[in-house]
Structures are given as C-alpha cells and as structure tokens.
Structure 1
Amino acid sequence: MDVDAYAAAHQAEWDRLEALVRRRGRLTGAEADELVTLYQRVASHLSVVRSSAPDVVLVGRLSALVGRARAAVTGAHTPAWREVGRFFTVSFPAALYRCAPWWLGTAAAFLAVCAGIGWWVATHPLVRTALLPPAAVDQLVEHDFADYYSSAPAAEFAFGVWTNNAWVAAGSLALGVLLGVPVVYILWQNAANVGVAAGLMVAGDRGDVFFGLILPHGLLEITAVLVAGGAGIRLGWTVVAPGARTRLRALAETGRETVGMALGLAAVLLVSGVIEGFVTPSGLPTWARVGIGVLAEVAFLTYVFWLGRRAVRAGETGDVAADERGDLLPTAA
C-alpha cells in the first residue's frame, strides 16, 4: 500500500477529527455525533496502516489522535485528587454517620468493661497479685508504663503504633463477616488490657500519670478502633438479618461501606499515631497534652456529625458510585 497516497486520501478526516477533539467541550449535538463517527473511522485507518504499511511516524501520529479522541468520546476520568477529596468529605463521613448507632453502642459497652475491670483490679489486692508478682507490678507502675512512650525515636514509634492500630481496625472490620464474633473478642482483649493497666496504675497512686499519658492520643485512637469494631459487628449482623434485601446484596452493600471505612480510619489512626509519637512523650504540661487530644477528638466527632449528617441528608450512603457497583438481578420483594 502507498502510505503517502493513503495519508493524502484521508488527511481531511484526520484534520477534522483533530479540530473536533480540540473543541470537545464546546461541541454541538451534530458535531458530537461527527466526533464519534470520525473516531471510529480513524481507528480503522490506524488498524489498516499498522497491518499493511507500518510507517512508524504515521502510526505514532494516528495512535495519539485516536487516544485523544477516545478520551473525548468516553469522557475523561475524574482526577484522582478529586476522588480522594470526595471520599473524605462525602463518602467516609456518610458511612461513619450511618454506622454511628453501632459504634456508639460499642463504645458504651467497651468503656463499661474498662471501668469494671479497672475498679476490680484497683480495689482487690489479690487480683493484682494473681496478675503479676508485686515486683513486676512496681516495675510497670513506676517505670515501664511511662517509659514505653519514649522507647523509640518519635517518628519510628509513631509509625509502629499506626501500623499496629491500623491492623487492629482492619481486622475488626474484615472479621465482622464471621457474624461479628472475632470482633467482640478483639474488643474484649483491648478493653481488658486498658482496664488492667488503669487498675494497676490507680492502685499504685499513679492514676494521674496513666490518664496524662493515655488521653492525648487515646481518645482518638480508641474512638477509631471502636468505630471499626461497631462497623464490624454491624457487618456481622447484616449476615444474620439482611432485612428486605437479599443476604448477598445486603452483604455486598454493607461490605463496600466497611472497606471504605477501613481506608478512612487508617488516616484517622495516622493522626493518633503522630500524637502518640510526638505529643504524648513530649515535655508539654499535662493539660496541654490532654488538650491536644481533646481537640483531636472533638474535631473528629464534628467531622462525623456535621459532614456526615449533611452527606446522608443529601442521599449519600458511603457506598461506591452507582456506576461502579455492577448490575443487579431483579428480585421479588
């Protein structure tokens, strides 16, 4: 095939397609139809040139033109930064708000268990003796608890705390599908650990040290873990009682919300990890360190109940966009 003759025969079509692509945001209805037609035609030209006369320069030119025309016909993909922005301002807070009854209930139960175990340990010497030898209790109360927060460089410590807590949160979310049973076990372990540590510190007259070190980062950190736990239990309950939806559809919808929450909670736990690494062991007065923790917690709750409520009222569910969910078979009510 004579490449020059072929190019001369179709040059006008290629130039016209180039012009339409440049004006793609200002096309009339007829021009949009013409764009689609010329895109298909030039794609065929590219195929012919590749198979019959593989001229490198011409193939490169037509490939670039067809690629730009394809983007104009199908529509450019939403920029990644815009998707991330929408996730953190709409989808994630909506999912948190919709799940609030579950994680608020989980928080109430968690705190009750912590308080109960803490009181039991603090007021019963035999319980403390059964847990640890007196020398080990003294070492924990006088040194180990406070020294833990400065046991590594701040950045390294913050990263380690973040990854550990992110795994705990992700496990609570993912394991919820097993009827929520593993999630209850994870939360019980965490509540018992907090309660025992609080009881030992209070019994050793170091309650001020305990709360002064745990509250700066712990308010936000424990909230994030409890959100994950509540969402995991909700996922497990969806398996048991899907409501009017089919069990598979209910699990898919709730599961997508849950996965999205895992990504958002990783960011929340990163903030708490930074506070734990840089603020908790710092030389700031206790009131300042606790104040930073309180501000972080208030900011998170405001984020949930302001942005989240607004998003839900606008019809958001925290699920992915409708065109990304796949098709559903009709089912009888």
Structure 2
Amino acid sequence: MDLDAFSTVHGPEWRRLEELVRRRRLDGAESDELVRLYQAVATHLSTVRSAAPDPVTVARLSDLLARARTRISGAHEPGWSDVTRFALVTVPVALYRIRWWTLAVTVAFLAVAVVVGVQVATDPAALAAMGTPSEQEQYVQQAFASYYDPKLSFAAMVWTNNAWIAALMIGLGITGVGPVYVLYTNAVSIGGIGGMMAAHGELSLFLQLITPHGLLELTSIFVAGAAGLRIFWAWVAPGPRRRSVALAAEARSLITVAVGLVGALALSGVVEGFVTGSTLPWWLKIVIGALALGAFLAYFLVLGRRAVRAGETGDLDADRAGVVLPTAG
C-alpha cells in the first residue's frame, strides 16, 4: 500500500475529525458526523497497521481515536468500585504471582548478608574496613541506636526513602542489573553493620533494633526486587508470546507492585518511627513488627490466590491496555 497516497485520500477525514474533537460544543448533525468519522478512521488505522505500519501515522491516528472516543463516550471517572478492585484484586494478584521470586530474592539477600556479617565479625581485616576503632565504637555505642528517633518526620523520611528504592528497583527491572545492584549493596551494608555490632558484643542490640520494622520493610524491598527481576525475565524468556507483548503485559501488571508497596512501606515506616525507638519492651516491639508482616503476607497470599483462581492476572483489560483496536461495524 502506498501510504502517501492513502494519507492524501483520507487526510481530509482525519483533519475533520480533529476539528470536531477540538470543538467545545457539537450540534446533533456534528455529533453524528463525529461518530461516523470515528468509525472510518478506526478502519483506516487498522489498514495502516496491517499494510504499512508507519509508526508516525499509527501514533497520530491512535491519539486522534483516543481523544475522539473520550469525546463520544466521556472520560472514565474512577469510582469506588475501581478503587476497591485495585486494592483487593489487582495489587494482591501482582504480589501473589511473584511470591516464589520474592522467596528466592529473600534467600539470596539473607545469604549475602550473613556471609558478609560473619566475615566482618571474625576477620580483623574485614572489620578494619568498617572504620577506625574509635569510629566503630562511636557507631556501635551511640549512632546506631540514636538513629531511630521516634517522631513523625523520621517516619515520613523513612517511608519516602524506602518507597523510592522500591520504585527504582521496579523501574530499572528491565535492565536486570539495577535490582541486583540495589539488593546486593543493601545486603552487604546490613551484613557489615551486623558483623561490626557482633564483633563489639552488641549483636543482640542490632537484632532488637532492626527486627521490629525490618521484617516488613525488608520484605517489601525483596518484593520490589522480585518484581523488577520478573519484568527482566519476561524480556529474556517471553514464552509463546512475542517479546514486546510479554514485556508490556508483565510491566503493566507488576508496576502495580510499586503502588501496593506504598502502603506496606508506610506501615513499616510507622513501626520504625514510633515503635523501634520507643520505650516499649523489646518483645512487644518484635511482636508488633511480626503482626505487621503477617498482615501484609495474609493480604496478598489470601486475596491474591483467590483472585488468581478466578482467572485474574493483574494486567489491564484488553481495551484499556490498547490490545483491542476500535473497528467499524
């Protein structure tokens, strides 16, 4: 098909549809014309896609049709049913589908942290790399515990920082390297601090301070890393789907993980900001942290499994994802 000739023949219809879409008010005849042109241009787009898939023309017509469809049917206003579905179906499904990836990331992270911690605690050279003896002493005896300052600003800072890290790992998932790098550096950091605390006889203090909020906070980071790696794997091994289709589907469904983790990280931030550094007994702090983690696990394991059995994938429906093209008739 000669795309230039096709555009010359049908260009007036495209420009007329553009004009009608831009008008603030339409009379009855113009409204009927808008619908007719919408159907015609939808057919033109289908023809271009199949016979001469020029990306510029496809993008132009797709944008024009999207605006025309909004003008015809009205913008979609999310209602409470959409919010409820997102919270009780979409997010749990996305989290549930990567549960085994999350478990693998958790095991790998803890393995690296433990190896680094043991090395720092038992190897004088590794311990020396953590700082001078006076610097280590000051950190172990003062800085580590004083970091957990129970107030709202601290909780907000922790929340935004962790949410950014989670979003970064998911956003950089396509690279494969991004999530691995962030997870590895955090594992080495936590392992090194734990090893240094152990070398100075304060391992129990380290565990007491990191466990209450760390149970949910680290789990959320593991989930984000798993989501990022799953997006990368969809690109590497798309299965029976085309690579672009598999990548788009996984990215759409798993980007909701970043949104879902906002709530989990907000909860862990509250625990870190108001429980970890509080005067509550240590056993109660750990119980609170365990309950927060248990609530998060129950949320996506129970609701996610139920939704998956009902056939949910966490992806957008075909119309909103742009899979189904509007056609005339």
Normalised-by-shorter TM-score class: 0.7 to 0.9
Alpha-carbon distance in structure 1 between the residues aligned to 2:265 and 2:295? 14
Structure 1 residue 105 displacement after superposition: 0.5
Alpha-carbon distance in structure 1 between the residues aligned to 2:263 and 2:230? 21
Deviations 1:291-314 (A, max 9, x none): 000011111111121111001000
Letter in 2 for 1:325: A
Structure 1 residue 138 displacement after superposition: 0.4
Letter in 2 for 1:219: L
Q: Which one of the candidate residues 260, 265, 270 is aligned to 2:261?
A: 265
Secondary structure in structure 2 of the residue aligned to 1:318: coil
Structure 1 residue 205 displacement after superposition: 1.3
Secondary structure in structure 1 of the residue aligned to 2:127: helix
Deviations 1:52-80 (A, max 9, x none): xxxxxxxxxxxxxxxxxxx9x95995643
Alpha-carbon distance in structure 2 between the residues aligned to 1:193 and 1:242? 34
Task: Establish whether residue 154 from structure 1 lines up as the match of residue 166 from structure 2.
Answer: no
Alignment match, 1:284: 280
Secondary structure in structure 2 of the residue aligned to 1:315: coil
Alpha-carbon distance in structure 1 between the residues aligned to 2:95 and 2:261? 10
State the TM-score, normalizing by the size of structure 2: 0.75
**Which runs of no fewer than 5 residues in structure 1 stay unpaired?**
1-41, 49-70
Alignment match, 2:27: 44
The count of aligned residue pairs is 263
Deviations 1:120-143 (A, max 9, x none): 111122211122111011011101
Alpha-carbon distance in structure 2 between the residues aligned to 1:80 and 1:235? 29
Q: Which one of the candidate residues 163, 167, 172 is aligned to 2:164?
A: 167
Letter in 1 for 2:250: T
Structure 1 residue 184 displacement after superposition: 0.5
Alpha-carbon distance in structure 1 between the residues aligned to 2:242 and 2:138? 55
Alignment match, 1:243: 239
The Cα RMSD (Å) is 2.3
State the TM-score, normalizing by the size of structure 1: 0.74
Letter in 1 for 2:136: V
Letter in 1 for 2:320: E
Alignment match, 2:105: 106
Alignment match, 2:289: 293
Alpha-carbon distance in structure 2 between the residues aligned to 1:262 and 1:45? 45
Alignment match, 1:206: 202
Letter in 2 for 1:84: V
Structure 1 residue 162 displacement after superposition: 0.7
Mapped contact 2:318–2:324 kept (Cα < 8 A):
no
Letter in 2 for 1:171: L
Runs of 4+ aligned structure 1 residues displaced above 3 Å come to 45-48, 73-80
Secondary structure in structure 2 of the residue aligned to 1:92: helix
Deviations 1:161-208 (A, max 9, x none): 111101110110010111x11110110010011101111111111112
Secondary structure in structure 2 of the residue aligned to 1:102: helix
Alpha-carbon distance in structure 1 between the residues aligned to 2:202 and 2:235? 45
Letter in 2 for 1:181: V
Structure 1 residue 328 displacement after superposition: 5.3
Letter in 1 for 2:299: Y
Letter in 2 for 1:108: V
Mapped contact 2:227–2:254 kept (Cα < 8 A):
yes
Secondary structure in structure 1 of the residue aligned to 2:241: coil
Alpha-carbon distance in structure 2 between the residues aligned to 1:240 and 1:280? 41
Letter in 2 for 1:303: Y
Structure 1 residue 323 displacement after superposition: 2.3
Alpha-carbon distance in structure 1 between the residues aligned to 2:76 and 2:121? 59
Alpha-carbon distance in structure 1 between the residues aligned to 2:115 and 2:79? 47
Letter in 2 for 1:166: A
Matches within 5 A, 1:1-333: 44=27, 74=73, 77=76, 79-150=78-149, 154-178=151-175, 180-327=176-323
The structure that has the greater radius of gyration is 1
Alpha-carbon distance in structure 2 between the residues aligned to 1:292 and 1:110? 23
Q: Provide closer, same or farther for how the CA distance between residues 232 and 47 of structure 1 changes in structure 2, counting only shifts above 3 A.
A: closer
Alignment match, 1:16: none
Secondary structure in structure 1 of the residue aligned to 2:27: helix
Letter in 1 for 2:167: A
Secondary structure in structure 1 of the residue aligned to 2:313: coil
Secondary structure in structure 1 of the residue aligned to 2:129: helix
**Which runs of no fewer than 5 residues in structure 2 stay unpaired?**
1-24, 32-69
Alpha-carbon distance in structure 2 between the residues aligned to 1:257 and 1:96? 10
Letter in 2 for 1:284: L
Letter in 1 for 2:169: S
Alignment match, 1:33: none
Alpha-carbon distance in structure 2 between the residues aligned to 1:45 and 1:313? 47
Alpha-carbon distance in structure 2 between the residues aligned to 1:47 and 1:183? 53
Residue identity over aligned pairs, in percent, reads 48
Deviations 1:33-61 (A, max 9, x none): xxxxxxxxx9636989xxxxxxxxxxxxx
Letter in 2 for 1:81: W
Letter in 2 for 1:236: F
Mapped contact 2:234–2:247 kept (Cα < 8 A):
yes
